[in-house]
Amino acid sequence: MNQIEELEKICQRYQIQLQNHISLAGHTTFRIGGTADLWIEINSVQGLSELLLFCHENQMDYFVMGRGSNILASDSGYRGLILHLGNEFSKIRMQNESLLICESGVMLTNIAKFAAEHALTGMEALSGIPGTAGGALFMNAGAYGSEMKDIVTECRYLDSSGTEYTLTGQELDLAYRHSFFTEHDGTVITSVSIQLEKGNPEEITARSADYAERRKTKQPLNYPSAGSTFKRPDGSYASKLIDECGLKGFQIGGAQISEKHAGFVINTGNATCQDVLALCQYVHDKVLKETGYSLELEPVFLGVQDGETTCS
Ligand SMILES: Cc1cc2nc3c(=O)[nH]c(=O)nc-3n(C[C@H](O)[C@H](O)[C@H](O)COP(=O)(O)OP(=O)(O)OC[C@H]3O[C@@H](n4cnc5c(N)ncnc54)[C@H](O)[C@@H]3O)c2cc1C
């Protein structure tokens, strides 16, 4: 039996589908990227564990994807297996009156909705981040002064051979866009424990609406993007530096520095990964020359080869 037949057998056991040549542009919020050779939508920890063991034993490359909202995928795609933790992996349960256990594919927006319905506060500022619990924990996503670090008490994950472990909040080593997982390739978060507090339902709803309104007014949400394209450098803000260099609206190919928010690179319709990389390189070099700050990219590369950019 060849590798693909073996993979198909595992998929049949877990009633999941092995798909071929899946468009990464169709599965990332940037709407950029070629095709992935193989794609599986995960629906159980057991199935995921078996697939990881298979990849481990067969030296098959894989990449874990949540909602694809912080990914820049190569124009030539990905020559491996995408393990997608999405709709099939998105249950939330209450462990006690204020502790939620969320499967890693659940969207932050849905956790925030669930929390509001149960009069729990703590998710409001994070509710507009368009990613999954797993992706948000991986990056220690944050907004408006809140971050995952403030509310995550524990998580479960599988290592690259499919063995399950638990990490406590401290062991997660969360810092600005950094976690245990950014340092441990091949690990997959399966669930995230989120500690919230009892609050007033009307105030919770009003706060979430306020944050949503701020995003709508300040961010170019009508264009495909991966959110803020550059990390916040110590002592300043990427958007401020880019704006000061007069780069708002600057464009290479279909990739543009948003007129609305200089921290966002947007896809104006037909941007390629190469356009984004060339634009980011130009911005990096100009900002460095004019301000002395060396900006780093925030999105995770998928299939992008080493050496295609120097600002990652
Ligand atoms: C319009 C817009 C606004 C945004 N605003 C913000 C913001 O305010 N703050 C912010 O921090 N980010 C923001 N982002 C970026 C993005 O939404 C977050 O980083 C989000 O947490 C990524 O989650 P995801 O599920 O989409 O992960 P993906 O983009 O799918 O993956 C990101 C990384 O996480 C890894 N990963 C995903 N799931 C798992 C898992 N289960 N186990 C292990 N690794 C995993 C992937 O391998 C990849 O390395 C924004 C993006 C957009 C498009």
Q: Residue 54 in 3-state DSSP? A: helix
Residues with CB under 6 A from ligand 1: 29, 63-71, 85, 104, 129-132, 134-136, 138-139, 141-143, 181, 188-189, 219, 221, 225-227, 300
Q: Residue 110 in 3-state DSSP? A: helix
Predicted confidence (pLDDT) at residue 310 exceeds the cutoff of 70: no
Tell me which DSSP letter residue 255 carries: E
Test site for ligand 1: of 70, 106, 183, most ligand atoms within 8 A of the Cβ? 70
CA gap 240, 262 in Å, rounded: 7
User: Tokens standing for 132?
Assistant: 């999954």
Backbone angles phi, psi at 269, to 5 degrees: 150, -45
Q: Is 214 a catalytic residue?
A: no
pLDDT at site 36: 98
Tell me which DSSP letter residue 132 carries: B
Q: What is the residue type of 265?
A: V
What's the 103 CA to ligand 1 centre distance in angstroms?
15
Tell me which DSSP letter residue 233 carries: P
Across the range 239-251, mean pLDDT stands at: 98
pLDDT at site 86: 81
Contact 99, 153 (CB under 8 A): yes
Q: What is the pLDDT of residues 74-118, one digit of tens each?
A: 999 999 999 999 888 999 999 999 999 999 999 999 999 999 999
Q: Could you tell me which of 75, 83, 90 has the C-alpha nearest to residue 32?
A: 75
Predicted confidence (pLDDT) at residue 1 exceeds the cutoff of 80: no
Q: Kindly state the greatest CA–CA separation across the chain.
A: 60
Q: Which residues have C-beta within 8 Å of that of residue 209, sequence separation ≥ 6?
A: none
Residue from 31, 177, 207, 232 carrying the catalytic annotation: 177
Residue from 98, 179, 228, 239 carrying the catalytic annotation: 228
Ligand 1, atom 47: nearest CA belongs to which residue? Answer: 64
What's the 9 CA to ligand 1 centre distance in angstroms?
31
Evaluate the CA torsion angle 110, 116, 120, 123 in order and state its sign.
positive
Ligand 1, atom 34: nearest CA belongs to which residue? Answer: 135
pLDDT at site 51: 97
Predicted confidence (pLDDT) at residue 311 exceeds the cutoff of 80: no
Across the range 178-182, mean pLDDT stands at: 97
DSSP H or E stretch at residue 157: strand 152-158
Q: Could you tell me which of 162, 145, 156, 236 has the C-alpha nearest to residue 194?
A: 156
- Domains observed in the chain: 3-87 (3.30.43.10), 90-205 (3.30.465.10), 220-302 (3.90.78.10)
> How many degrees, rounded to 5, is the angle at CA 179 between CA 62 and CA 39?
20
Q: Which residues have C-beta within 8 Å of that of residue 12, sequence separation ≥ 6?
A: none
Share of the chain above pLDDT 90, in %: 96
Pairing of β 120-121 and β 197-198:
antiparallel
What's the 226 CA to ligand 1 centre distance in angstroms?
8
Q: Could you tell me which of 110, 66, 77, 105 has the C-alpha nearest to residue 89?
A: 105
Q: Is 177 a catalytic residue?
A: yes
Q: What is the pLDDT of residues 194-226, one digit of tens each?
A: 999 999 999 999 999 999 999 999 999 999 999
